[in-house]
Amino acid sequence: MTGVAGSVVVLGDALLDVDLVGSASRLAPDAAVPVLDDVRETARPGGAALAASLLARDGVDVVLVAALGDDAASSRLREVLPAGVQVIALPLEGELPRKVRVRASSQSLARLDYGGGSVGSVGSDARTEADVARVLAHASAVLVSDYGRGVAARLRGLLATFANRLPVVWDPHPRGAQPVDGVRAVTPNATEAAEFACRIRGSSAEQALRRAADDAQLLVRAWRAGSVCVTMGAAGALLSFGDDSPLIVPAPVVRCVDPCGAGDRFAGTFTLALARGDLPSEAARAAVAAASAFVETGVERIFEATLPLPTGNDVFVRVAALRARGATVVATGGCFDLLHAGHIETLRAARALGDYLVVCLNSDASVGRLKGTGRPLVPATDRVRVLEALECVDAVVVFDEDTPSAVLAKLQPQIWAKGGDYGGRTLPEASVLAEWGGQAVILPYLQGRSTSALVDAAIQNAL
């Protein structure tokens, strides 16, 4: 359940994104350029269409208002849009913009842009404008995804009418229209915010965070917006209401090869949170978390499969689906009784090895047999909840045996990561991993951190 009463309208410039993905292991003999083998082509929504598609994947009823024509790129975009996206098509003059990215695995090597189409005359089509007004009247929130192709500028009058009636989030582009007065939030990235601010006050050479805070404060007032939320990549986001003390939302540390689409994910999640009735500060936190998870997964991997991953609590079904899509599943295990810094270090390192981390957790009976009387200190139900709350943990499986061999045989992860000082010894799980070609690895041990030490210290302090 999304908690949203009505639909979310995404209004702006749709694009078609095409990936040409291959493997690169050698250079061409006639030039120092990589040779891509086994190239495959995939198409996915881009621009406003990407923002709408991601919201639809979240279970939201979405209406996309964008310019589409009869050209091949427009037709392909209609094909790859999720079924949950309703489209109100404005007339398009020219071909739909198409961005072709050439990638080696997940690393972009080049981008080729085609098609310079923009929105045609809407004023002559009274029925289309009436359709847009009708969906706006019943919307829970509006996201203006402006890529400078004219849709936001063309429908500016309608947007100004509704900006004071419902939450409107404006994701701007330097070539696009200025936000209408009264929008709930504007979400430029740091570079865009600096460019917009320079147009108002001239250039500035301040420290990055101070610059972002000053830019946001100025833009809140200049645009008469409720807030401006500046996205700053790995530094998170800065939310300003026009005063001197902005809110900083830090981002978790994630692996990011290509941030393509992160801004659309951020703006869409921010809009959805406002549609639910969340405060802008809550919306910013949710948007940073969603965008961080998005870039770690990668837009290519998110859209490479036609079917969604299985939902529900069956971790084994989900892991099998992930492996079938080429994702790297990592497993680690232990008692995790009284979670401490050493545990966190191991879990973060394990998650960095792949795309999905499953923690194999000893049951209460198993911990008692391994650790002796009085253990565990924390029951399995609570240990599961604590582990699942960590950003680096994707799933937890409880096993009752003394070793995780049986649960590993069912999960079949590509990597089994174990923390501790094994001094060159072979991990006991290595033999079962060999059955499907899995690899056992040892992660660095954080010296001096253990549950037993914590227990002993607590006892000494109590005496």
Active site residues: 264
Cα→Cα distances 232→55, 171, 187, 236, Å: 22, 14, 11, 5
Cβ atoms within 10 A of the Cβ of 297, count? 16
Cβ atoms within 10 A of the Cβ of 342, count? 19
Q: Cβ neighbours of residue 374 under 8 Å, at least 6 residues apart?
A: none
CB 235 within 8 A of CB 251: yes
Torsion over CA: 298, 321, 55, 283 (sign): negative
Specify the length of the chain in residues: 463
Instruction: Give dist(CA 109, CA 101) in Å, integer.
Output: 7
Instruction: Give dist(CA 299, CA 394) in Å, integer.
Output: 18
Sheet with 356-362, edge to edge strand ranges: 395-399, 356-362, 329-334, 415-419, 439-443
CB 400 within 8 A of CB 413: no
Q: Which residue from 138, 100, 141, 146 is spatially nearest to 119, judged by alpha carbons?
A: 146
Q: Which residue from 192, 107, 118, 105 is spatially nearest to 149, judged by alpha carbons?
A: 118
For 285, what's the count of Cα atoms within 13 Å in the CB-facing half-sphere?
5
Q: Which residue from 44, 159, 175, 51 is spatially nearest to 103, judged by alpha carbons?
A: 44
As given in the structure block, the two tokens for residue 61 are 């009823």
Cβ atoms within 10 A of the Cβ of 249, count? 21
CA 87 to chain centre: 24
| Burial environment of residue 33 by CB neighbours within 10 A (0 to 12, 13 to 18, 19 or more) | exposed
Q: Which residue from 421, 309, 403 is spatially nearest to 356, judged by alpha carbons?
A: 309
